[in-house]
Amino acid sequence: MLELYIGNKNYSSWSLRTWLLLRHFDIPFTEHLVSVAGRDHNPALKLIAGNGRVPSLHDDGFQVWESIAIAEYLAEKYPQMWPSDPKARARARSIAAEMHAGFAKLRTAMPMNLKLKLRGKPAEADVQRDIDRIVELWTEARSQFASGDGPWLFGDFSVADAMYAPIAWRLHIYNVSLPAVAAAYRDALLAHPAMVEWYEAALLESEAHEKYDCLAEVYGGAR
């Protein structure tokens, strides 16, 4: 039986990726919610994850951490998690890895906090570069590989979509204007039943972190 350790649903963008992947593909697992303060290494989590962070997947006691590694581990058992076409699969892996390693300026400036919905403001230049690159990736994937067969980046839902799910929330929370193709893809992610389930659970959480809750005024206040 798989066991997944995740952080607070209101804040933990990294946890969302793996959880969404399991839920979309209807893979049975036991969920363990771990209270986390911020995104730094936490020695208290060493017993459940070698890197001291969540998410962490346990498969009969064997630990896998880092969302991209967890996705690859799962995809070895469920190959439908990646596109079947070799070139599409390679591109999906490329953009998933780019998400895992990049976009630090956007993630720092716009942390995930699902209880906020802000009026927004023009992004700083380095944050806008991250946004522009994400729009480019989404638009290229949809135009070159989706072929109108579904709302996802490569037609069918894949690891790549799970990796970008937290970005969809960030762009929504901070009221970032997007061109039509990117906006439609963001909205498809937000409407995914499992994303709605995660959101509704996040709203019920009581734990708060001022570092992330105070951003309402920075971004023009709540709508």
- Tens digits of per-residue pLDDT, 172-184? 999 999 999 999 9
Across the chain, mean pLDDT equals: 91
Q: What is the pLDDT of residues 60-76, one digit of tens each?
A: 999 999 999 999 999 99
Q: Is the pLDDT of residue 80 over 60?
A: yes
CA distance 140 to 160: 13
| Secondary structure (3-state) at 138 | helix
Strand order across the beta sheet in which 29-33 lies? 29-33, 2-6, 56-59, 62-65
Q: Given this model, what pLDDT does residue 50 score?
A: 84
CA distance 222 to 69: 36
Report, as an integer, the average pLDDT of 147-162. 91
Report, as an integer, the average pLDDT of 142-164. 92
Q: What is the pLDDT of residues 86-128, one digit of tens each?
A: 999 999 999 999 999 999 999 999 999 999 988 888 999 999 9
> Which residues have C-beta within 8 Å of that of residue 111, sequence separation ≥ 6?
11, 13, 170, 211, 212, 215
Q: Is the pLDDT of residue 29 over 70?
A: yes
Overall pTM > 0.75: yes
CA distance 12 to 127: 20
Structural domains of the chain, ranges and CATH numbers in brackets: 2-79 (3.40.30.10), 82-203 (1.20.1050.10)
CA distance 7 to 211: 16
Q: What is the pLDDT of residues 36-65, one digit of tens each?
A: 654 556 777 888 888 888 999 999 999 999
Q: What angle do CA 7, 8, 11 make, to 5 degrees?
A: 105
- In the chain, the percentage of residues whose pLDDT exceeds 90 is 78
